Structure 1
């Protein structure tokens, strides 16, 4: 198993730091934020709910029942008001007469307004309040509201399941997408910005769906149900209430249009700030050493101020919606109260109906107000969704072949045939490279910075695809193999160590989780990890903390070498693998590596030329081309590029010694 890879997620682990500059371990700045396209993004977000269609139908049915019961409640409660009011009025009238006689008597006396009002009631002069009827109505109202609560609670429970399952799938899809992205994507994306998209933005989407789906559904159903109930009571009062709808649409559209861009900027600045914080804290020691705390703090405060201003603007503008809607609702409430009172006075409508209508007016304006207030949540959530969808839309690495070829259990013969590669079309890097690496050979790659040394091994691992030519492993084109199979046959030890939070035993066995305890111990002893492990508090069960700061840099490197040793790959790649190890330990590791390299192809990238004197073949690279190749002795004798590199290092070492 590869030291770097157990599946295609290797791209997520290399490089170890946020990239800078061009090349395989460098990158450009953040991509520019696109302007938000609300409609398509919202539709795409809702499309994520498609696998939960059955539960969404159930949610809708439960919401319909709950809203229906809630809408019926005020009308029946109005009947209770009528029973009370009519009972009080009946008690004030003389017994033994009928309602018609009372009304006729009032008209004859000229009190037509009171006569009109009493004509619209159901009176029994002298009887008083019918408490039995009142009790039945109140119990019915209680049962209705309890039923509305229970159906609403079940609906919320089912909806919560829908949202959480949807977010579970979204996170899985994001993880899967990241594993399918090529290394060049991570060269161009700051680590903190990517983390913000897969954490903050997804959490924001979750909250948006959780808070808006139920509210939108219930609010729309409530508006429809209440509107029907109001028209059944008084078309005139219902028309007054309808003024709320165009006012709501106008206010929401005007304000949402202004807040839309603010929310896009808010989440863009959030990602940039996270990237800056991640970089600042991961390099905290370097910041302190070079005395850049003030500059870093100033940069942080500037970016934090930008985030504050955009967040404040987004929340302030969208926050105007709620009070604006409440103002419109209060105006409508006053209009209904005045007109309804006049209708009661004329006997056109009962007092209980007006009381029910006033409740309905509140029920009508409240969901409209909620819909308006949710505009800011929707804008924020869809802005986050668009950032996540940009990740989904990123170009993926080429897929593995449908019928992959598996080389024989191998010896690790690598052949480069007319290989050409460049990171950008206008800047050629490697051109027409030919190279044969035989099993058991140790091939050292040297050259100045930017010569293409690391690029060469990245091509072997298929972190990047060739522009032309091909690379074969034991006679099989590596493009005809799955990446998992290729990397399972390749071990890689980088200059920048990568260890995860876990025990030392688990870190050694990372490339071979099924390794036995004896195999782990053998690898540890062969790479001299066993020498320092026993000085740790819990030996092999010692848990490495964040950044593995409880072991030294050299010990980290030994652990990564042990990991590669245990994997026993066909091809071994050492990219300055001993740079963090002291001289004495380096000699020991070199001995261990000589055992590991037997019958395996080894590529060693080295800057200290003294460490690769015994290599079977040394390749000297300049500007992506192999300008010299041969053994250490042959290259020194030729007096070429290698001779110049070697003498420059020797001269530097001599100058240091003399100083």
Structure 2
């Protein structure tokens, strides 16, 4: 939205009063775990230098940690040899406490150094992950600005918000918790394997036998849980969409007594989410017990074989003790990786949903050699324009019209005739199927959207105010405006008269829903916003519908001043408000069936006369 545009940034419905079908959930075959995980890893490529530092610190930390058990094995041999020697009556035999102390001090130093490098690794990795997620959030935000309005028409806002907030947070948590542990676990497996082979290749082979089984179990369970995690996050988005819709229209729900139906719908969707989440967590939760079972079997086999080798004299007690410690250290990282599988599955499922948003078709890019009108006059011309939301249902066909500078062009017609669509095409919220629209002689497709919309001010029936002061809301379309200019715009649109009655005046803070000002006052604020922006082209879509009769009369005078010297498109249902329009267009089914002044159209006795008579009859009965 440009600085001079006062339309709501929220998705607007089509003129038919509903979104386009088939545009709610992204369609297409879901990606598998591998491609999504690979793409997520690819987003970390810019941090490759710091990842190299993290790996180096991890290798150093693990190297010191895995050396500990082997050195402790020497301490066990010192104690064992001393006890056995004394028991056999060997002269001078006993525990060499000096040598034992040296060994223990070495081990203490190794573990302290390992902990220091591990802390540095975690500190750097935390910064890396947060920068990656920060960039992901930026990309999602930028993507939302590049998506066409057509995408938002049928996209549930709760579902979209879920992808932009919940899913990104889940990715952040997943990467933060798993990446450090995954790196440490893999390095530990490699380091421990080297140490086990140096102690006993036979026992190392026995310990390695658990790996193929672990990989098989993890792959089988993970494949099933991935689908369930995708369903879980899909149902989360669906539930969020329902909650957002219900609470946005909370008053309407209560007025029509639909609380029970809303609660039942919530219960149904919550049950679907419960079922998907329970299934995902249960299936992925099977990995940990399975891995623990395999680890314990390996540990028992190693202990038995190691005991036999001690009795045969081929290994010392300290070596077997060290190997048993390595055996546990070897299977423990595998178990930890397996236990993170459900978290990784959930995170990658969220990443897949984010990538679906990032891959959505964008609006056409602005031209590299963009043009600008030689003079801003506000002349708008439709040249044989055709447009449809769905190819099989044409809406506007071969429409041609000219709005001269300074003219007020009113557009009237029944609901669904294409009135709002017409002005949305001027704003390039949608792209034409055929024909072209020019602004001051320049095809609007040759203008950058920012340049186009900077010349247009728009006030909708559906008002939008953001959380901020009244002064900030008026200056939204022109942030550099002076206090005097803001006051002049407020006085011209009769905002000043009710602001002066507020305790904090222009410093009154409006909440996000604008509940501390009336509907008519909100409308006046949006009109003042457009007045201050001073665009060359003004679009008013039933802008005075929320204003009372007395205020409407005042606003009409303000609008007359605002429309002077600029082209105006006015969409109106109250025909009494557009009697003074220079040109009135009567639309039916996307076509202009009549055009002329108020008096000319009444004399013609056609569609405009019927609409006017129907309204007049309604007001007199």
Instruction: Give your verdict on TM over 0.5.
Output: yes
Whether 2:17 is the aligned partner of 1:31: answer no
SS state of the match for residue 648, structure 1?
helix
Q: Is the 8 A contact 1:20 1:27 kept in 2?
A: no
Q: How does 1:614-653 map to 2 (within 5 A)?
A: 614-653=580-619
Alignment of structure 1 residues 113-128 onto 2, 5 Å: 126-128=92-94
Spell out, residue by residue over 1:426-473, the C-alpha distance to the aligned partner (whole angstroms, 9 max, x if none). Answer: 111111111111111111000001100000000000001111111111
**More displaced stretch, 282-291 vs 215-224:** 215-224
Alpha-carbon offset, residue 26 of structure 1: 5.8
1:264 aligned onto 2:258: no
DSSP-derived class of the 1:145 partner: helix
Instruction: Give the Cα–Cα distance (whole angstroms) in 2 for the partners of residues 425 and 642 of structure 1.
Output: 29
Q: In structure 1, the residue corresponding to 2:513 is in which secondary structure?
A: helix
Alignment partners' CA distance in 2, 1:195 and 1:495: 24
- Residue matched to 2:440: 474
CA distance in structure 2 between the aligned counterparts of 1:540 and 1:209, rounded to whole angstroms = 46
Q: Secondary structure at the match of 1:546?
A: coil
Maintained 8 Å contact 2:405/2:565:
yes
Distance 1:78 1:528 in 2: 88
What is residue 323 of structure 1 aligned with on the other side? 289
Q: 1:79 aligns with which of 74, 91, 96?
A: 74
Shift of 1:593: 1.0
Contact (CA 8 Å) 2:4, 2:535: kept in 1 or not?
Answer: no
User: Of residues 162, 166, 169 in structure 1, which corresponds to 2:135?
Assistant: 169
Structure 1 contact 29–190 (Cα < 8 Å) conserved: no
Q: Residue 376 of structure 2 is aligned with which of 396, 410, 425? A: 410
- Cα separation, 1, equivalents of 2:551 and 2:20: 31
Matched, 1:13 2:12: no
Q: Distance in 1 between matches of 2:610 and 2:37?
A: 62
Matched with 1:196 is 162
Is 1:63–2:29 an aligned residue pair? no
Which residue matches 1:117? none
Are positions 1:334 and 2:262 aligned together? no
Q: Distance in 2 between matches of 1:518 and 1:592?
A: 18
Offset of residue 343 of structure 1:
1.2
Structure-1 residue corresponding to 2:221: 255
The change in CA–CA distance for 1:20 and 1:646 in structure 2 (over 3 A counts) is: closer
CA distance change for structure 1 residues 407 and 588 in 2, over 3 Å: closer, same or farther?
A: same
**Secondary structure of the structure 1 residue equivalent to 2:603:** helix
Q: Deviations over 1:341-394 (max 9, x none)?
A: 111122111111111111111110111001111111121111111111111111
Task: Confirm or deny that 1:392 pairs with 2:358.
Answer: yes
Q: Give the TM-score normalised by structure 2.
A: 0.97
Alignment partner, residue 560 of structure 1: 526
Which residue of structure 1 lines up, in the alignment, with residue 535 of structure 2? Answer: 569
- Whether 2:278 is the aligned partner of 1:312: answer yes
Structure 1 residues 68 and 50, CA gap change in structure 2 (3 angstroms)? same
Please give the alpha-carbon distance, in whole angstroms, between the structure 2 residues aligned to 1:595 and 1:650: 27
**1:447 pairs with 2:442:** no
Whole-angstrom distance in 1 between the partners of 2:24 and 2:606: 42
- Report what 2:478 is aligned to: 512
1:135 equivalent to 2:101? Answer yes
Structure exhibiting the larger radius of gyration computed from Cα positions: 1
SS of 1:176's partner is: helix
CA contact (8 A) 1:319 1:373 kept: yes
RMSD (CA atoms):
1.6
Q: 3-state DSSP class of the match of 1:164?
A: helix
| 8 Å CA contact retained: 2:409, 2:570 | yes
| Equivalent residue for 1:51, pick from 42, 46, 49 | 46
How much has 1:3 moved relative to structure 2? 6.1
Matching residue of 2:332: 366
User: Do the aligned partners of 1:64 and 1:221 also contact (CA within 8 Å) in 2?
Assistant: yes
Deviations 1:22-54 (A, max 9, x none): 678666562266434111111111101011010
Give the CA deviation at 1:76.
0.7
Distance 1:615 1:649, change over 3 A: same
Shift in Å, 1:650: 1.0
Looking at structure 1, the residues matched to 388 and 503 of structure 2 have their Cα atoms a distance apart, in angstroms, of: 48
Query: Is contact 2:15-2:415 (8 Å) kept?
Result: no
List aligned pairs for 1:292-307, cutoff 5 A.
Answer: 292-307=258-273
Cα distance, 1:405 vs structure 2: 0.8
The two structures have a TM-score, normalised by structure 1, of 0.92
1:15 Cα deviation (Å)?
2.9
Unaligned 5+ residue runs, structure 2? none
Task: Indicate if the aligned counterparts of 1:3 and 1:564 stay in contact, CA closer than 8 A.
Answer: no
8 Å Cα contact 2:20-2:389 kept in structure 1:
no
C-alpha separation between the residues in 2 aligned to 1:481 and 1:24? 30
